[in-house]
């Protein structure tokens, strides 16, 4: 009977306790309170803030309205935690929301009152100080942002360095991607090292970017965020995988970008810290023969430029020799000091006459970004020693000349015996007859096979050689599109001229009209005329259609070599696929 009593009463007690708990949860909101607390009230602009919002009951449905915070703070993350306990007849119930906030500006900011249903939390005033290197030193985690120049010329390299100093153990470290308008960007270095700052040891994470501004004016470099988790000690004396989340912001920077000096031609505009020319020859220069080619390899190494920014070489020809350029090769290397571009050009040189031939010096003009002046890189003139071509031997099958009338017969008789004529040898040699018959049959079979070949024409080979400079053309086209998008007509004209000189390196293009003539494109000629009118005639009412102009350039086709009027037979420079 005792056992039966236990079995009957135990379910009733459990049911009664569960019903009491549910009623308590349902009625608890009537006396609930909502409070907000911050881990600090004074922070630096590159630091984050932990905000705890607590409801002292169970929040079964919905969330507080956190959107009121976003006027002065950015909400980086939100987490929720609920707890209910009953000890010695006393119950405790609460719901926590943990928010990680980043200030949007400096000064006195307010975390306003937050509302959840009928409950309203208290407001909190936060003081945000401008972060500086001196105020950051000594903190367990801080950042440092460095630029190597406060002002640069257009297309000149700018080095941006972000450093994260930490004296605590971090995991899952990450950095926001860098996006800068009107600039080409490349990450050149990412390293870690130890550094002692004010007697305290720090682990430093350093990331270096090379930026190449493509428009004059103000270059805005945005602030980025380092994000990581602080490792905490566990009960075994080691480190747990994740602890508190730590976020530190870098400093934003504003850089003055100056336009290219007016007295410098765009063809000579290569802002770099150094440029070097080197050359190699495929054979000795004193062992050349008329008609036999020799290869000249010239490399241009520019520190502070990409390979695509290096202007192509144009070597002058002469009556004494011909020059045939090959496909250039573009390479880049990078380290903490920036980008180094290399352009390798190959030229096949064919002498036209024997004797001594002198090739003129090769010069490259460039802007020295350190000394702020134009410099010249040079290869000295080269002298070639060219021998005459060897004369071919006498054909033994050519008949001897018939003696003239009255010639000295005895002299002819005493001369060496001349070889037989081809027809005489053919009549006297059966082997030669069979050989000729066999060769005739073979030629007949080859002719039949050639006549039966498929009639589908093979795709023509790209004779323009433009595929070799695809990377360079891509950057030039980007410059054209950027100038057109901003309606900057003068930079647009300069970019189109540079583009035309790239696809016609042997033509010495100086005007837009020459490019349109070489492309045999009347519609492009019309847009070029309108562009020149808009630039040089302020009273002109007609304006070029910049979008149409860009589309025409993108679909431009280089005419076949040696043809000025025939339709182009090559693929577009910038295929849509």
Structure-model confidence comparison of residues 193 and 505, the more confident one: 193
Of 456-460, 506-510, 549-553, which gets the smallest average pLDDT?
A: 456-460
Q: Sheet containing 73-87: give its strands across.
A: 34-38, 49-55, 90-103, 73-87
The pLDDT score that the predictor gives to residue 118 is: 86
Domain locations in the chain as residue ranges: 30-129, 133-258, 267-387, 467-554
CATH topology of domain 267-387: Immunoglobulin-like (2.60.40)
Would you place residue 6 in the very low, low, confident or very high pLDDT band (cuts 50, 70, 90)? very low
Would you place residue 409 in the very low, low, confident or very high pLDDT band (cuts 50, 70, 90)? very low
Ramachandran assignment for 372, one of left (phi > 0), alpha (psi -120 to 50 degrees), beta (any other): left
The pLDDT score that the predictor gives to residue 218 is: 95
Q: Is the pLDDT of residue 572 over 60?
A: no
Would you place residue 357 in the very low, low, confident or very high pLDDT band (cuts 50, 70, 90)? very high
Report the C-alpha dihedral over residues 522, 524, 530, 532, rounded to 10 degrees: -110
Of the chain, the percentage scoring pLDDT greater than 90 comes to 39
Q: Is the pLDDT of residue 574 over 90?
A: no
Would you place residue 28 in the very low, low, confident or very high pLDDT band (cuts 50, 70, 90)? very low
> pLDDT tens for residues 411-467?
334 444 444 556 666 666 677 677 777 778 888 888 887 787 665 554 444 444 444
Q: Is the pLDDT of residue 402 over 50?
A: no
Distance CA 262, CA 285 (A): 42
Query: Which of 338, 330, 389 is CA-nearest to residue 210?
Result: 338
Question: Of the CATH numbers 1.10.760.10, 3.30.590.20, 2.60.40.10, 3.40.605.10, which one belongs to the domain with range 133-258?
Answer: 2.60.40.10
**Do 491 and 480 touch, CB atoms closer than 8 A?**
no
Q: Is the pLDDT of residue 203 over 70?
A: yes
Would you place residue 18 in the very low, low, confident or very high pLDDT band (cuts 50, 70, 90)? low
Distance CA 113, CA 120 (A): 6
Across all residues in the chain, what is the average pLDDT? 80
Structure-model confidence comparison of residues 388 and 452, the more confident one: 388
> pLDDT tens for residues 150-168?
999 999 999 999 999 999 9
The number of beta carbons lying within 10 Å of the beta carbon of residue 516 is 21
Q: Is the pLDDT of residue 321 over 80?
A: yes
Of the chain, the percentage scoring pLDDT greater than 70 comes to 76
Would you place residue 121 in the very low, low, confident or very high pLDDT band (cuts 50, 70, 90)? very high
Question: Of the CATH numbers 2.40.50, 2.40.128, 1.10.3470, 2.60.40, which one belongs to the domain with range 30-129?
Answer: 2.60.40
Structure-model confidence comparison of residues 498 and 276, the more confident one: 276
114-132: b (≥16 Cβ within 10 Å) or e: bebeebebeebebebeebe
423-453: b (≥16 Cβ within 10 Å) or e: eeeeeeeeeeeeeeeeeeeeeeeeeeeeeee
The pLDDT score that the predictor gives to residue 343 is: 96
Of 338-342, 401-405, 505-509, 530-534, which has the strongest mean pLDDT? 338-342
The residue whose two tokens read 């070597």 is 315
The pLDDT score that the predictor gives to residue 206 is: 94
Query: Which of 185, 254, 162 is CA-nearest to residue 217?
Result: 254
Structure-model confidence comparison of residues 16 and 427, the more confident one: 427
Distance CA 451, CA 445 (A): 10
Would you place residue 406 in the very low, low, confident or very high pLDDT band (cuts 50, 70, 90)? very low
Q: Is the pLDDT of residue 236 over 90?
A: no
Model-wide pTM > 0.85: no
Structure-model confidence comparison of residues 281 and 452, the more confident one: 281
The pLDDT score that the predictor gives to residue 42 is: 86
Structure-model confidence comparison of residues 19 and 221, the more confident one: 221
- The tokens for 313 are 């070489």
């Amino acid at each position: 009977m005792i056992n039966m009593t236990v079995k009957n009463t135990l379910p009733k007690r459990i049911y009664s306790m569960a019903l009491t708990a549910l009623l308590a949860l349902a009625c608890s909101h009537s006396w609930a309170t909502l409070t907000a607390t911050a881990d600090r009230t004074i922070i630096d602009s590159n630091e984050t803030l932990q905000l705890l919002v607590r409801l002292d009951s169970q929040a079964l449905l919905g969330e507080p309205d956190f959107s009121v915070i976003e006027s002065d703070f950015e909400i980086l993350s939100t987490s929720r935690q609920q707890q209910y306990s009953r000890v010695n007849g006393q119950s405790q119930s609460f719901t926590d929301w943990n928010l990680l906030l980043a200030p949007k500006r400096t000064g006195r900011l307010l975390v306003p009152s937050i509302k959840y249903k009928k409950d309203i939390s208290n407001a909190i005033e936060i003081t945000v100080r401008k972060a500086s290197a001196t105020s950051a030193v000594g903190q367990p985690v801080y950042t440092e942002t460095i630029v190597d120049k406060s002002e640069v010329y257009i297309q000149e390299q700018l080095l941006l360095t972000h450093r994260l100093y930490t004296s605590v153990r971090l995991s899952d470290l990450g950095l926001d991607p860098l996006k800068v308008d009107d600039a080409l960007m490349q990450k050149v270095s990412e390293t870690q090292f130890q550094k002692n700052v004010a007697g305290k040891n720090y682990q430093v994470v350093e990331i270096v970017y090379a930026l190449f501004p493509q428009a004059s004016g103000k270059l805005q470099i945005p602030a980025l965020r380092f994000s990581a988790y602080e490792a905490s000690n566990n009960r075994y004396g080691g480190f747990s995988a994740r602890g508190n989340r730590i976020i530190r912001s870098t400093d934003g920077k504003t850089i003055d970008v100056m336009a290219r000096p007016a007295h410098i031609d765009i063809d000579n505009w290569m802002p770099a810290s150094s440029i070097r020319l080197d050359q190699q020859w495929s054979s000795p220069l004193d062992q050349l023969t008329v008609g036999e080619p020799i290869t000249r390899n010239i490399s241009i190494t520019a520190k502070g430029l990409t390979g695509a920014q290096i202007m192509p070489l144009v070597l002058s020809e002469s009556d004494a020799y011909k020059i045939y350029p090959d496909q250039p090769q573009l390479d880049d290397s990078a380290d903490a000091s920036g980008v180094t571009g290399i352009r390798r050009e190959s030229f096949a040189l064919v002498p036209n006459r024997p004797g001594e031939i002198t090739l003129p010096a090769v010069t490259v003009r460039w802007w020295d970004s350190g000394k702020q002046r134009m410099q010249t890189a040079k290869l000295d003139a080269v002298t070639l020693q060219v021998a005459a071509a060897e004369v071919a031997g006498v054909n033994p099958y050519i008949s001897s000349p018939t003696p003239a009338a009255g010639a000295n017969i005895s002299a002819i008789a005493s001369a060496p015996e001349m070889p037989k004529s081809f027809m005489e040898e053919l009549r006297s040699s059966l082997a030669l007859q069979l050989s000729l018959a066999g060769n005739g049959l073979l030629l007949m079979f080859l002719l039949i096979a050639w006549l039966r070949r498929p009639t589908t024409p093979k795709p023509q080979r790209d004779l323009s050689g433009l595929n070799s400079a695809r990377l360079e053309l891509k950057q030039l086209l980007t410059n054209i599109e950027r100038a057109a998008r901003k309606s900057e007509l003068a930079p647009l004209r300069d970019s189109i001229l540079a583009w035309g000189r790239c696809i016609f390196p042997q033509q010495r293009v100086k005007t837009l009209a020459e490019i349109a003539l070489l492309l045999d494109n009347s519609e492009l000629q019309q847009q070029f005329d309108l562009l020149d009118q808009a630039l040089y005639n302020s009273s002109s009412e007609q304006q070029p259609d910049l979008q149409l102009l860009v589309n025409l350039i993108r679909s431009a086709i280089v005419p076949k070599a040696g043809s000025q009027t025939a339709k182009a037979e090559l693929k577009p420079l910038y295929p849509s696929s």
